[in-house]
Amino acid sequence: MSQERDVTRLVRSWIREDQHESADRILGVVLDRLDTTPQRRSWWPARRSNGMNGFVKLIAGAAAVLLVAVVGYQFLPRGGGIGGEPTLEPSPSPSVLARGTFTAKGAPVEIDATREGDSVSGTMTVGDNGDTVFAVDLNCAQAAEDGRILIAGDATESNGDWVKKGDFTAIILKPGSPVHAVYAFGSDASSATTCSSFLEGIIDQRFTTVIGDGALEPIQGTVELGP
Amino acid sequence: MDVDLVERAQRGDKLAFSLLAGAIADRFLAVARRILRDQDLAEDATQQALLAIWQNLPQLRDPGRFEAWSYRLLVHACYSEGRKERRWMPNLRLLPVEGAAATDDLSSVVDREQLERGFRRLSIDHRAVVVLYHYLDKPLDEIASILEIPVGTAHSRLHHAMRGLRAALEADLRPTAREAS
């Protein structure tokens, strides 16, 4: 135990050794760059409202149960079994990567992304009270080891000052109940030259991105995520 | 941290930001240097973090959490710099024996060297926890919040890092004994 304390004391001593370093030069560089570095204005309200009352929750819950029942019914086998009609092998077709309308980090999102083999296609629009803030032509995706799904593409439209037209833009979705999401923009992996390398650049970022307060947050609404 | 200053900087007040940045820049550089063990990388990380703070301040929802949020951006910048393909140079700056004697606990230049080597062998994940805990005196729950990891993970990273540093110091005992004989 005393050996343990000795190591701790040595480490604390060593790490606290005074280096007498001043960051004045760095501060000067940063302040010089403020004029050319726009702030990223948030489009979401400062605080999310908890406006959903009990009755609305009940209705939403009932609707979700009904939706699951209807969708489940569609998948029930029909006329199969011994002596029934032979079923055809499904032909290869695009599978859903992410599809839905929801609110992520306070912004309404509409996404429809599919995968066919290695090819990814689809669109995502992120809006603000009916106005499109940015739209993305989705063309690459990657799954992280922790289950996150990263889908990215080029911004084809942008009214905000944090996304420029042509910038790589991604949404990162973490499956769960609820699904969590966050966005990433070109500056999060500024050296990327392709959509895939952009995803490579952000996939290991511990904080996903510095957007908002930097974290995956639960979405409001639903999104269908593919395998 | 002055919340009013944070709020003014959030609204784009450059003077407020310059005061805010001035208050944290030295500390940021010190933390980055301790995590990265490289002056150039630490300066780049500090610069990157300060600019990221300016850019993203309007999106900080709770100005009262500025400190934890800003450290998160700094550690994020350290990860980013640490990933660069820059080879670690063995730029150990060994203090003279007189300097070492001035520090009660760190009595040996060899200890310093071994700690430096042991620390460099740790991942940035582990270094960040050691620096936040032993240099900034942050409690583990706050470190977990800054790094967005469970408290248990923060605890195990610290434990793993300290075990590595202890092993580095113990490995030094044999050569020291040989030198002494």
Q: What is the CATH number of the domain that holds B66?
A: 1.10.1740.10
Domain with B38, as residue range(s), is 3-82
- Per-domain residue ranges of chain A: 94-225
Is B10 within a domain?
yes
Tell me the ipTM for this assembly: 0.80
pTM of the predicted model over 0.80: no
Last residue of a domain, one of B25, B52, B82: B82
| A8 contacts B130? CB cut-off 8 A | no
Last residue of a domain, one of B47, B82, B117: B82
| A31 contacts B34? CB cut-off 8 A | no
pLDDT band of A6, cuts 50, 70, 90: confident
Angle at B135 between CA B129 and CA B137, to 5 degrees: 80
Is B98 within a domain?
no
Q: What is the total count of domains within chain B?
A: 2
Q: Confirm or reject contact between B85 and chain A (CB < 8 A).
A: no
Find the CB nearest A23 among B28, B54, B115: B28
Q: In the predicted model, what is the mean pLDDT of chain B?
A: 82
Same domain for B71 and B115:
no
Same domain for B77 and B21:
yes
Same domain for B42 and B8:
yes
Helix (H, G, I), strand (E, B) or coil at B179: helix
- Neighboring chain A residues of B30 at a CB cutoff of 8 Å: 19, 21
Per-residue model confidence (pLDDT) at position A17? 84
Largest distance between two CA atoms of chain B:
66
Residue A205 CB partners (closer than 8 Å, separation 6+): A184, A188, B76, B79, B80
Q: Among A83-87, A160-164, B129-133, where is mean pLDDT lowest?
A: A83-87
Find the CB nearest A10 among B26, B62, B169: B169
Q: Confirm or reject contact between B19 and chain A (CB < 8 A).
A: no
- Contact in structure between A40 and B58 (CB atoms under 8 Å): yes
pLDDT band of A79, cuts 50, 70, 90: very low
**Nearest residue on chain A to B52, judged by CA atoms?**
A210
How many Cβ atoms are within 10 Å of B79's Cβ, its own excluded?
A: 20
Provide the CATH number for the domain around residue B158.
Answer: 1.10.10.10
For the ranges A63-72, A144-153, B165-174, the one whose mean pLDDT is highest: A144-153
Is pLDDT of A204 > 50? yes
Same domain for B122 and B154:
yes
Determine which helix (DSSP H) or strand (DSSP E) holds A137, and give its type and residue range: strand A131-143
Strand partners, A123: A112, A137
How many Cβ atoms are within 10 Å of A34's Cβ, its own excluded?
A: 18
Is B92 within a domain?
no
List, for residues A152-182, the tens digit of each pLDDT value.
Answer: 999 988 876 667 788 889 999 988 888 988 8
Answer with the residue of higher pLDDT: A4 or B177: A4
Same domain for B78 and B128:
no
Q: Among A62-71, A183-192, B108-117, where is mean pLDDT lowest?
A: A62-71
Cα–Cα distances in angstroms (integers) from residue A51 to residues A43, A55, A59, A107, A179, in the given order: 19, 11, 14, 16, 20
Is B88 within a domain?
no
Q: Which of A5, A6, A27, A172 to mutate to test the interface with B (most CBs of B within 10 A)?
A: A27
The arithmetic mean of pLDDT across residues B158-168, rounded, is 91
Is B97 within a domain?
no
| A39 contacts B12? CB cut-off 8 A | yes
d(CA A159, CA A180) in angstroms, rounded, equals 25
Is B37 within a domain?
yes
Is pLDDT of B61 > 80? yes
Q: Confirm or reject contact between B113 and chain A (CB < 8 A).
A: no
The arithmetic mean of pLDDT across residues A184-192, rounded, is 75
Distance to chain A for B181, nearest Cα, Å = 24
Is pLDDT of A52 > 50? no
Answer with the residue of higher pLDDT: B158 or A215: B158
Q: Which of B6, B79, B106 to mutate to test the interface with A (most CBs of A within 10 A)?
A: B106
